[in-house]
């Protein structure tokens, strides 16, 4: 059960212990990570409510905020199994991706799954989920974790990220699940250009740029004319497609434009044009959007004008510099691949290990090889694991089999 520290610092320890024992609860050691609102209620009660009479509607909003945050966490946590002593398999959430509604499913002596019992009491789907869960050899206690983060730790940004992603999937923004946009995003994110350029292109596709129309909607600006072409309001569609300056840049770079279709939006035009282009022109399209926004900001905030030729020279030079850097990276990668195995220093043993994964049978074969400073093999073992859900778990398994030898100071 997750709890915040609700006891004041000046409450005696005896009183705290009495309250905890009566309620049968634990005091959270780090309440800031529970709701992401660091001691908000304490701060209000100590200072604000001593100085001001807060409106009732504000108190209701704060209460609703706290309730929503609590519901967000409680609905999306699950138990990370240690020894299994604190988890009710029928009522507690502990299977990721499966809704579960005290059997001893874990062997106490070996801390492994009782496979026969598991297969007797649950169906095949649940068997696969259960047996794929790795159990710690340390027999640690069961803990509650945030299921949308690999580390299991809940932070404010994790909750926000989940909510905003859920919101976008339920709105009319570009849906990356459709086939057209899957191809677009797959090729777009795989491009060899700086991340800042990719992120900039992604922002207008999701209406995340502070263009004049967005600022006007938030009452931060009155005029909305595009500062570049001065021919139309500066909104997302204008920046992505219809700006006259952008079209002039693309015409000068000889970028092939997708066929016109009145039923398509400007975003669709942009995506289709990008997908029709080759690798070189895709780079130019992305860099031109980023460079034009950069020059636009220079014009607005610093009053620095620019010509079309200057902008084209900057785009071409930037693309050339990226390609030179990419060539150097590829040469460095090839040289690393040609490196031979190096023996360890005198008195040391080097362990090399790897794993294979078969997705159809959910099995993994791993191998561990130990060699000394004279390149002599001093030990080798192979293992076969079943009920392995993915490649990540297979790699974790091979690390698990290798680490005990390091801790014990043994060779294989």
pLDDT in tens, 192-247: 999 999 999 999 998 999 999 999 998 899 999 999 999 999 999 999 999 999 99
Q: Check residue 5 and give its pLDDT.
A: 45
Residue 407 confidence (pLDDT): 58
pLDDT digits (tens, 9 = 90+) for 137-184: 777 777 777 777 777 788 888 888 888 777 777 765 555 446 678 889
Residue 402 CA to residue 379 CA, distance in Å, equals 12
Helices (H), 231-368: 236-237, 244-252, 266-276, 279-302, 308-337
Tens of pLDDT, residue by residue over 269-291, are 999 999 999 999 999 999 999 99
**219 within 8 A of 241, measured Cβ to Cβ:** no
State pLDDT tens for residues 311-350.
999 999 999 999 999 888 887 777 666 667 888 988 888 8
pLDDT of residue 189: 94
Containing 387, the helix (H) or strand (E) segment is none
Q: Mean pLDDT throughout 370-383?
A: 87
CA dist list (Å): 151 to 146, 147, 155, 158: 8, 9, 11, 11
Higher pLDDT, 161 or 25: 161
Question: What pLDDT does 99 receive?
Answer: 46
Q: How confident is the model at residue 30 (pLDDT cuts 50, 70, 90)?
A: low
Which tokens hold the place of 52? 């001001």
The DSSP code for 141 is: P
Task: Please determine, for residue 6, whether its predicted confidence score (pLDDT) is greater than 60.
Answer: no
Record the tokens describing residue 113, joined without a space.
Answer: 């799954």
Residue 252 has pLDDT above 50, yes or no: yes
More confident residue, 247 or 9: 247
CB 34 within 8 A of CB 146: no
pLDDT, position 299: 95
pLDDT for 298-322, tens place per residue?
999 999 999 999 999 999 999 999 9
User: Quick one: pLDDT at residue 32?
Assistant: 46
Rounded average pLDDT over 382-399: 85
**CA quadruple 171, 173, 174, 176: dihedral, nearest 10:** -40
What is the C-alpha to C-alpha distance for residues 374 and 171, in angstroms, rounded to an integer? 63
- Give the start-end residues of each E strand in 147-286: none
pLDDT at 34 over 50: no
pLDDT of residue 13 exceeding 70: yes
Which bin fits 347, alpha (ψ -120 to 50), beta or left (φ > 0)? left
What is the C-alpha separation between 82 and 140, in angstroms, rounded? Answer: 5
The pLDDT of residue 90 is 67
CA distance 95 to 151: 16
pLDDT value for 210: 94
**What CA dihedral angle connects 91, 107, 365 and 410, to 10 degrees?**
130
């Amino acid at each position: 059960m997750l709890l915040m520290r609700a006891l004041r610092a000046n409450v005696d320890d005896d009183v705290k212990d009495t309250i905890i024992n009566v309620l049968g609860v634990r005091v959270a050691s780090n309440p800031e990570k529970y709701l992401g609102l660091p001691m908000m209620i304490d701060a209000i009660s100590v200072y604000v409510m001593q100085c001001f009479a807060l409106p009732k509607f504000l108190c209701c909003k704060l209460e609703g905020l706290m309730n929503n945050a609590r519901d967000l966490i409680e609905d999306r946590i699950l138990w990370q199994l240690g020894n299994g002593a604190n988890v009710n398999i029928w009522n507690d959430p502990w299977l990721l991706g499966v809704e579960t509604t005290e059997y001893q499913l874990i062997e106490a002596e070996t801390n492994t799954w009782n496979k026969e019992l598991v297969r007797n009491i649950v169906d095949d789907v649940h068997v696969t989920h259960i047996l794929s869960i790795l159990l710690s050899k340390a027999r640690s206690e069961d803990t509650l974790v945030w299921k949308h983060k690999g580390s299991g730790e809940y932070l404010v940004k994790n909750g926000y990220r989940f909510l905003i992603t859920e919101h976008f999937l339920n709105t009319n923004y570009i849906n990356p699940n459709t086939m057209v946009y899957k191809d677009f995003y797959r090729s777009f994110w795989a491009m060899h250009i700086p991340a800042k350029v990719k992120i900039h292109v992604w922002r207008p596709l999701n209406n995340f740029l502070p263009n004049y129309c967005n600022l006007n909607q938030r009452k931060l600006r009155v005029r909305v004319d595009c500062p570049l072409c001065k021919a139309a309001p500066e909104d997302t569609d204008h920046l992505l497609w219809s700006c006259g300056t952008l079209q002039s840049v693309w015409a000068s770079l000889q970028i092939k434009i997708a066929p016109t279709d009145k039923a398509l939006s400007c975003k669709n035009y942009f995506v289709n044009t990008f997908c029709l282009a080759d690798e070189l022109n895709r780079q130019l399209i992305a860099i031109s959007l980023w460079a034009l926004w950069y020059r636009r900001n220079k014009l607005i905030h610093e009053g620095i004008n620019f010509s079309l030729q200057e902008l084209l020279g900057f785009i071409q030079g930037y693309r050339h510099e990226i390609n030179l850097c990419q060539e150097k990276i590829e040469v460095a990668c090839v040289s690393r691949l040609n490196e031979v195995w190096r023996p360890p220093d005198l008195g040391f043993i080097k362990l090399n290990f790897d794993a294979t994964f078969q997705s159809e049978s959910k099995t993994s074969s791993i191998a561990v090889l130990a060699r000394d400073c004279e390149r002599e093999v001093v030990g080798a073992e192979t293992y076969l694991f079943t009920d392995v859900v993915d490649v990540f778990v297979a790699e974790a398994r091979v690390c698990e089999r290798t680490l005990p030898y390091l801790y014990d100071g043994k060779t294989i």
